[in-house]
Structure 1
Amino acid sequence: MSMEGVVAAVESVLSYTFNEKKLLEQALTHPSYTDAPSYERLKFLGGFVLQAAISTFLFSTYPGVEAGRLYHLCAVIGSKENFARVAVRHRLNKYIRHQKATVVSDEVWEFINAFEKEEEIVSGRMKPPKVLADVVQSVATAVYVDCGFNMQKMWTLSY
């Protein structure tokens, strides 16, 4: 599939049309792909942006919940496992641009198969592949940047 086709497919999944298509291309590009900028820079910002969005959501949705519980909920929602599940749920793994066979490795396929069978993928039974979580963070950040750093819009599309 061409990169234009990939962008169109992911825009359809997100129900969001990018003004700057290159942001989405970058968000889907693994560092092993050397012909274009990778998602690493977007992922850097994504960790902070998603943490802020999740924290804001929890803080405003659960006003009576103590801080310790909010920290725990934020950690669970913003976990690598949860982000990997989001990637699989939206089939983002199909659109990762890479040049290294190990990027979409047996570990990724095992995770996808377990997810599709509704198996429990917690408590160390299966480590979620980092690449899946990275792509979710990067795509969410690409939306955030593309829509003028509007956290509310990014949050609405990301979850």
Structure 2
Amino acid sequence: EPKPPSTPDLKRSSSTSSCSDDEGPPQQEVFPAEDWSWPARAVGSLQPYRDADGKWMQPIFGELRAPPSPLLRYIEDPEGELEQMLSGYDALERTLQYRFQDRSLLLQALTHASHHSNRLTDCYQRLEFLGDAILDYLITRHLYEDPRRHSPGALTDLRSALVNNTIFATLAARHGFHKYFRHMSPGLNEVLTKYVKIQEENGHSISEEHYLIQEDAMEQAEDVEVPKALGDLFESVAGAIFLDSGMSLGAVWKSYVNLMGAELEAFSAAAPKSPVRELLEAEPDTAKFGKPERLADGRRVRVCVEVFGRGTFKGVGRNYRIAKGTAARCALRHLKVHRAR
């Protein structure tokens, strides 16, 4: 099982005053290595100082504090309704190996924008944004501190392979996140059901060949990423744990390394090559990627890659990196099929 990356001995000043010239240098307090968030430390590189109330402040960013609870109190007995809505969700907390202190964060993390009957919290989109950044950092840090000391190119390929909606959606389905997903979208429910069935049939394997929706007439592929919402769920729960734990990166890592430890180890032992690099190495003179195009829905990007004499292939994703990789995988699959004939 992968171990958390080592934590540098960061220190902060804990003296009772910094105004007197005759006082010695401030005493130093070392935060425990197991807590990567170092609560209450000042953010930034400038010298922190004490304000009039004796609180340590940072000249640029100010005091770092956790946001308030997302629980809305516009109804009678919101706590009672919260417990009713989260009945049976203890099983998910056991899967996460984390018990929420503020369970409204768990509800928010599992609520889709279509679930209008949730009167207690907002939907998961802000937590998804936060969790995406947190998982990106934690996985990047783990890879950087891996004893195998990967090359810069391998680090890039590893992060691309481990930090994307495809693998997050697969892991969410494997660990049953979809069973607790609160939404009211028939279309989303249909896509989720089909996706989970496919994943159960292939043993929840992490293989990108399972994640292409192919339209042969257009030679276009879309990353499944649809259901993008399932990968978002994986990220939003990470964001919820971070806030609930007092902004502890260690708490998120402890939970999520249990969910994706096998993939972290397998990929680190045999770094996968990015589809873009594989295509450019296979067709160095004939493969040319075009500029990204924003689709009409405003949420997705399309990228085309032309392989001279072989065709033009299109990839769709929520950003340029995903769309480019999907186009490359589409082209690679086409090339492999025709070479086998």
TM-score by length of 1: 0.90
1:54 aligned residue: 139
Partner of 1:8: 90
Matches within 5 A, 1:96-115: 96-105=181-190, 107-115=191-199
1:58-110 superposed Cα distances (whole Å, 9 cap, x missing partner) = 111145211221111111111111101111111111111112222222x2222
Identity %: 30
Counterpart residue number, 1:72: 157
- Encode CA deviations 1:8-37: one digit per residue, 9 max, x unaligned: 222122121101100000000001113331
- Higher RCO (Cα < 8 Å, 6 or more apart): 1
Q: Does 1:122 align with 2:220?
A: no
Structure 2 CA distance for partners of 1:98 and 1:73, relative to 1, 3 Å: same
1:92 aligns with 2:190: no
- Counterpart among 246, 259, 278 of residue 148 in structure 1: 246
Q: Does 1:33 align with 2:127?
A: no
Which residue type is aligned with residue 25 of structure 1? L
* Structure 2 spans left out of the alignment, 5+ residues: 1-83, 214-223, 260-341
CA distance in structure 2 between the partners assigned to 1:39 and 1:6 by the alignment: 20
Query: Does the CA-based 8 Å contact 1:7-1:21 persist in structure 2?
Result: no
Shift of 1:149: 1.4
Larger strand percent = 2
Contact persistence 1:45–1:141 (CA under 8 A): yes
Letter in 1 for 2:187: T
Secondary structure (helix, strand or coil) at the match of 2:86 reads: helix
Match for 1:17: what amino acid? R
CA contact (8 A) 1:27 1:142 kept: yes
Task: Give distance in 2, aligned partners of 1:91 and 1:148.
Answer: 26
CA RMSD of aligned residues (A): 2.0
The equivalent position to 1:44 in structure 2, one of 129, 137, 152, is: 129
TM-score normalised according to structure 2 size: 0.44
Q: Distance in 2 between matches of 1:5 and 1:108?
A: 22
How big is each residue's C-alpha offset from its partner over 1:88-145, in whole Å with a ceiling of 9 and x where there is no partner? 111111111112222222x222221121111765245342410100100001111111
User: As a proportion of its length, which structure holds more helix?
Assistant: 1
Larger radius of gyration: 2
From 101, 111, 117, the counterpart of 1:19 = 101
What is the Cα deviation at residue 6 of structure 1?
Answer: 4.2
Give the letter aligned to residue 254 of structure 2: T
Task: Give the number of aligned pairs.
Answer: 158
Aligned structure 1 segments of 4 or more residues deviating by more than 2 angstroms:
123-126
Q: Distance in 1 between matches of 2:230 and 2:161?
A: 16
Q: Name the SS of the counterpart of 1:56 in structure 2.
A: helix
